[in-house]
Structure 1
Amino acid sequence: MSADAAAVVRKLAKRPLLSRLFASGRQPLKLVAVPRDHVQGERQRGEAILAGRFVLGNESVSLTDLDFAHLGVDSPIGRELQGFSWLRDLAAAASREKGARVAEALAGRWLLSHGTRVDDAWRPDLWGERILYWMAYAPYILSSRDAGYRSALLNTMVRGARHLDANAEKALPGLPRITAWAGSVAAGMLIQGGVSRVARGESGLARALSTAQFEDGGLISRTPYEQVRLVDRLQLLRATYSAAKQSLPESIEAAIAAALAALHGVTMGDGALSSWQGGNPGDAARLHALVEGCGIRARPLRQARGWGYHRMSALGTVLVIDAAPPPPAKMAPRGCASTLAFELSDGAQRLVVNCGGPAPLPTSLPEELTEALRSTAAHSTLVLSDTNSTAILTDGSLGKGVEDVSVDRSEDNDCSRLEATHDGYARAFGLVHKRSLMLGNDGKELRGADQMLPKGRRKIKDAAPYAIRFHLAPGVEPTLTADGMGAILRSPGAPPWNFRCRGANLGIEESLVIDGRGQPVPTTHLVIQGEVAAIGGDVAWQFRRSS
């Protein structure tokens, strides 16, 4: 054990501190079993932890003198460290003996900062996550020969489990409450004497899932990066049942399968996420490791009536469309006005994307830019009169706009078709936006049309300007054709694609996207611009692979 770790353990072993840590004064209980986390961690991040740095996105903190109390739980990097999910990455880079020296020193510091009192770090969702990972990586945090340290950690875990029993239902609705109840169930399964809390925990988890998850498996927050974490939490809970030699309830098994199918539905050809609700592609390798480690298989969800992200695919061409209203504010306080936007990829090459956002990574982007990334203009869809399809208010919340989205989908021997209409512009302009998409079964052609159709009593007096944007992935180089009605899209990872439009003017303008590290990357976008009268109008366009 390093001198640093030994100093922490000696301090923990002092009787006054241990007396405070032992809520009941009894000897610590034991874990009945240790679940196996089947998801492979990220070795590079683990090696950074061994070297004394914790890295998240474009930020890092030194672990040499880390003070968990000063770190807090409000920042992304603080939440990640407090939840202990990094134990997975440490285990990928170090043997049990080597990794335990680092893990026990950090766990000891957490106990010194938070083990003696209930504070922000005892938030129910953080305790749920912490218990899931402490149990899965118990060999890394409970290998010390110091009985005082082991007793402090185990008894604090017991207190955390009791805290969850009383407070899991108070966690925020959605993923936080699911995580809290998952931790409560896991504690009941594997902490000696906790069997009595399992039934109550399972009941709480069932309630949390029913209020946070659509029937099709997607979260009501409609946030892909949260969907990743949902699948992760449930697969860790599944491993807990396996370790305890207990049968997983059918409802939880079904929830995992449905959640995984919904997650598959928003991945692109490169295996990373499409960018919705302020998120970005993330890390394809990390996502692949999670999917492989789940232990179950699920086909991508194609017709997501609740989750809202419809998927069309043909011979390597993938299209993901947002065909639903924005999520409710209580589930996604930073929701986006992205209805009827889409992303398109050819194999591993992304072609059309949304600008995305930095979540859940730390960011140094100006607040003005992060707010702009939530706008309709930051997504590959139509914008009428430079107005968001759903209003983004000055306090950051979503206001009035899209309330109803109708979807009609069909398949035949030649192509897949989707028609979707939203009412986001009906109240202000007396027009609804209808987007029609047709993907050929050979994957070589995507035909689209954007129509603005009159609806309701309100009419625009003269005409309103509109813009239809197609944000291009970094590395995709557009060249306008001589007639100004098309563009050739060249990229390093796919054959050239030809774009054509009719009914309006085409231009190329600068844009940016947020990459998987949460950083802005300059790119360009195609823009079709024109004006529409009160009687409506339409624009047809086409993407076609040249070979």
Structure 2
Amino acid sequence: MSVEFAKSAPAMRRTPEEDAELWARLTGRSGEESTASPIHRLKIAGAAPDGFGVYPRAIAPADDMRGESLMRDIWRIGMDKIQMEAGRAPWSGRLPSKHFADRLHRFDWLPDVFTQGDAGADRARFLVDDWIENFGRFNGFAWRAGCAADRIWNWMICGPALFEVGDEETVHQRLDVLGRQIRHVESLHDDCTEPAARWRISIVLVLNALCLKRGKGLSEALTLLENECTAQILPDGGHVTRAPARGLRSMLELCVLRDVIQRSDRAVPPFIQSWIERLGGMVGFFRAGDGALPPFNDGHESLPEAVDAAIEQLGTSPRRFTVAPKSGFHKLVKGETSLLLDAGAAPEQPFGDRAHAGALGFELHDGAARLVTSCAFSPEIDIDWQAAVRRTSAHSTLILAGEDSAPFVRNDETGLTFPDGPEGISAKRLEEADEIWLDAQHGGYKKHFGLLHRRRLFMSGNGRRLAGEDSLARPVSAGPADDSRTIAYTVRFHLHPTVTVMMGDNSIRLETETGAVWRFKTSHEAARLEKSFYLGRGVIEKTSQIVLSGRAQADSDGSGPPNCVRWAFLKDRPA
């Protein structure tokens, strides 16, 4: 593990008091318990819905493996696992952490349980009813805006299997608690500072108008959703957070709404169709050879089946392009080899509160195999690990003096930190004679160290050679440096956990899960292998990283050592 990353890596065990302090610090306002004043209780009071006029239908497939595990009463979230006695709900005992409790109360797992036949459906309904008995009136933690909105979505998407099975009193109670939660999140939307919660609230309010209120309030709900679409989806179809998985989820939810609107014999608003098409184009842009997505920012690999489901909703193949200028990504594709470069600054507030400082980091794939990545992210992994992998050292890029390429600054409105910058990030592309050049740079280290980080990439026409150069240069306009001391730097290449790596005399051998063999070569003398971690598949996996270290001169133009490091990935054997 890197020195910088080790400093921010989380402890394995915490007391309840330490866990509460960590939760408050790393979740900000979104982690604060909701309150229910007498006035608020009046707002959310009301008659239970009289049933669904139409049900939403899930488009993304459920996770059968998780469903099977839950049927064995094994509840696994990130590093933590609890084994419940048969017939007991997970919240009936002490939970490992607030993060674990938060993931439980969102009910993302509920559709997975419903996939397990009649026994699974019975089990799923029991868990909903048990939750209603314990938390259905109100609970400050479980009724936070984002948590409640996710739960509403996950209940509604389960459809008649949840809301039409059981005795009359039980079904009425489910509908009553559903209606109360919808009114609750609706009252919170205007003051909510969490973009993900605002999005989900707008989605469930449209579903509420269509499915439960037979169209009443639909115009207002659609206006709210259109505003969120404009705020959270970029013109090129990328999500404003610059996380591919966020864009995928947004697209799938809009497709669910489109389907419900069509089955309600209503015209689909043009903005919904337009945003679906743009989001679908970006899903296709990011889609890797294995069918999943790259884990940029607070995104994860995503199930390939979910990506396939989204692409199918387009009706035609998504348009092909290699530059997403608003989202800040460049793509190189030759033969079986593809590379995605992050050449964009962090999002504006409040959308950057979970963004990463990974400027000029890249993903390198060989067909269905992943080679170079980052330490990645997963919403399932505990929040201290989520915070640790936001650092620059958790990405495949250059780090100067152990500092982040974009410093983290506190957002007073949300209580969270966001990466600020980096300034001057850009990339230029040249395609000539079937070869591709990328020339990118950023000025994240210019203010404190007077140096620009420049990364140049070259991919051969057959995709079997990726050559790179990382340099640190002082701009001529800055004049001579006042300090002659050298500055430590490190270039990191985090390898995917499916890669088998071996240090050789003149190169580093990399074998992918498909059997292809690559070699990493460099003229730099201090190449070594270190331990690393990967979060992108919902668990913490051990892996390796290639590390190149040196000391940069403050006055260098970056044209040669020690301020210039050249390296290459060479394909020796195909799969």
Q: CA distance change for structure 1 residues 78 and 478 in 2, over 3 Å: closer, same or farther?
A: same
For residue 517 of structure 2, what is the aligned residue in structure 1? 496
2:365 is equivalent to residue 362 of structure 1: no
2:493 is equivalent to residue 470 of structure 1: yes
2:353 is equivalent to residue 333 of structure 1: yes
Rounded to whole Å, the distance in 1 between the matches of 2:568 and 2:115 is 46
Rounded to whole Å, the distance in 1 between the matches of 2:443 and 2:284 is 28
* Residues 94-138 of structure 1: per-residue CA shift (max 9 Å, x gap): 24xx44322222221222233323744333434443343333322
For residue 461 of structure 1, what is the aligned residue in structure 2? 483
2:403 is equivalent to residue 382 of structure 1: no
For residue 304 of structure 1, what is the aligned residue in structure 2? 324
Task: Pick which of 102-111 and 488-497 moved more.
Answer: 488-497
2:235 is equivalent to residue 209 of structure 1: no
1:389 deviates by 1.4
Q: Which amino acid aligns with 1:541?
A: W
Q: Which amino acid aligns with 1:461?
A: D
- 1:102 paired residue among 123, 129, 133: 123
Rounded to whole Å, the distance in 2 between the matches of 1:200 and 1:158 is 18
For residue 142 of structure 2, what is the aligned residue in structure 1? 121
For residue 319 of structure 1, what is the aligned residue in structure 2? 339
Rounded to whole Å, the distance in 2 between the matches of 1:70 and 1:301 is 51
5 Å-filtered alignment, 1:383-402, equals 383-392=399-408, 397-398=417-418, 402=422
User: Could you tell me whether the CA contact under 8 Å between 1:125 and 1:168 is conserved in 2?
Assistant: no
TM-score with structure 2 length normalisation? Answer: 0.80
Q: CA distance change for structure 1 residues 480 and 49 in 2, over 3 Å: closer, same or farther?
A: closer
1:420 deviates by 1.5
- 2:566 paired residue among 535, 540, 546: 540
1:150 deviates by 1.4
User: Could you tell me whether the CA contact under 8 Å between 1:439 and 1:446 is conserved in 2?
Assistant: yes
Q: Counterpart of 1:397 in 2: which secondary structure? A: strand
1:229 deviates by 2.8
Task: Pick which of 64-73 and 77-86 moved more.
Answer: 64-73
1:70 deviates by 7.9
Q: CA distance change for structure 1 residues 64 and 333 in 2, over 3 Å: closer, same or farther?
A: farther
Q: CA distance change for structure 1 residues 21 and 117 in 2, over 3 Å: closer, same or farther?
A: farther
Rounded to whole Å, the distance in 1 between the matches of 2:195 and 2:316 is 23
For residue 35 of structure 1, what is the aligned residue in structure 2? 56
Q: CA distance change for structure 1 residues 89 and 295 in 2, over 3 Å: closer, same or farther?
A: farther
Rounded to whole Å, the distance in 2 between the matches of 1:541 and 1:213 is 36
5 Å-filtered alignment, 1:173-212, equals 173-193=194-214, 195-212=215-232
For residue 66 of structure 1, what is the aligned residue in structure 2? 89
User: Could you tell me whether the CA contact under 8 Å between 1:340 and 1:420 is conserved in 2?
Assistant: yes
Rounded to whole Å, the distance in 2 between the matches of 1:23 and 1:393 is 40
Aligned length: 516
Q: Counterpart of 1:31 in 2: which secondary structure? A: coil
Root mean square deviation, CA, Å: 3.3
1:534 deviates by 0.8
- 1:147 paired residue among 153, 163, 168: 168
Q: CA distance change for structure 1 residues 432 and 121 in 2, over 3 Å: closer, same or farther?
A: same
For residue 85 of structure 1, what is the aligned residue in structure 2? 108
Rounded to whole Å, the distance in 1 between the matches of 2:289 and 2:334 is 11
Q: Counterpart of 1:121 in 2: which secondary structure? A: coil
Rounded to whole Å, the distance in 2 between the matches of 1:250 and 1:68 is 43
2:262 is equivalent to residue 242 of structure 1: yes
Q: CA distance change for structure 1 residues 440 and 146 in 2, over 3 Å: closer, same or farther?
A: same
Rounded to whole Å, the distance in 2 between the matches of 1:213 and 1:374 is 22
Q: Which amino acid aligns with 1:205?
A: L
Q: Counterpart of 1:449 in 2: which secondary structure? A: strand
TM-score with structure 1 length normalisation? Answer: 0.84
- 2:429 paired residue among 409, 418, 440: 409
User: Could you tell me whether the CA contact under 8 Å between 1:48 and 1:54 is conserved in 2?
Assistant: yes
Rounded to whole Å, the distance in 2 between the matches of 1:275 and 1:269 is 14
Rounded to whole Å, the distance in 2 between the matches of 1:388 and 1:210 is 30
2:545 is equivalent to residue 529 of structure 1: no
Q: Which amino acid aligns with 2:565?
A: V
Q: Which amino acid aligns with 1:64?
A: G
Rounded to whole Å, the distance in 1 between the matches of 2:482 and 2:232 is 39
Q: Which amino acid aligns with 2:555?
A: A
Q: CA distance change for structure 1 residues 242 and 422 in 2, over 3 Å: closer, same or farther?
A: same
Q: Counterpart of 1:387 in 2: which secondary structure? A: coil
Task: Pick which of 39-48 and 289-298 moved more.
Answer: 289-298
* Residues 257-310 of structure 1: per-residue CA shift (max 9 Å, x gap): 322333343343323332332554354455545555676753466312232232
Q: CA distance change for structure 1 residues 465 and 86 in 2, over 3 Å: closer, same or farther?
A: closer
Q: CA distance change for structure 1 residues 371 and 511 in 2, over 3 Å: closer, same or farther?
A: farther
Unaligned runs of 5+ in 2: 1-41, 559-563
Rounded to whole Å, the distance in 2 between the matches of 1:460 and 1:407 is 30
* Residues 317-336 of structure 1: per-residue CA shift (max 9 Å, x gap): 11111101233452233432
| Greater length-normalized contact order (CA 8 Å, ≥ 6 residues apart) | 2
Rounded to whole Å, the distance in 2 between the matches of 1:180 and 1:301 is 32
* Residues 325-366 of structure 1: per-residue CA shift (max 9 Å, x gap): 233452233432210011211112222221224x311339xx
Task: Pick which of 527-536 and 197-206 moved more.
Answer: 527-536
- 2:292 paired residue among 258, 264, 272: 272
Rounded to whole Å, the distance in 1 between the matches of 2:182 and 2:455 is 50
* Residues 429-466 of structure 1: per-residue CA shift (max 9 Å, x gap): 22211212222332112122223232253726223333
For residue 52 of structure 1, what is the aligned residue in structure 2? 73
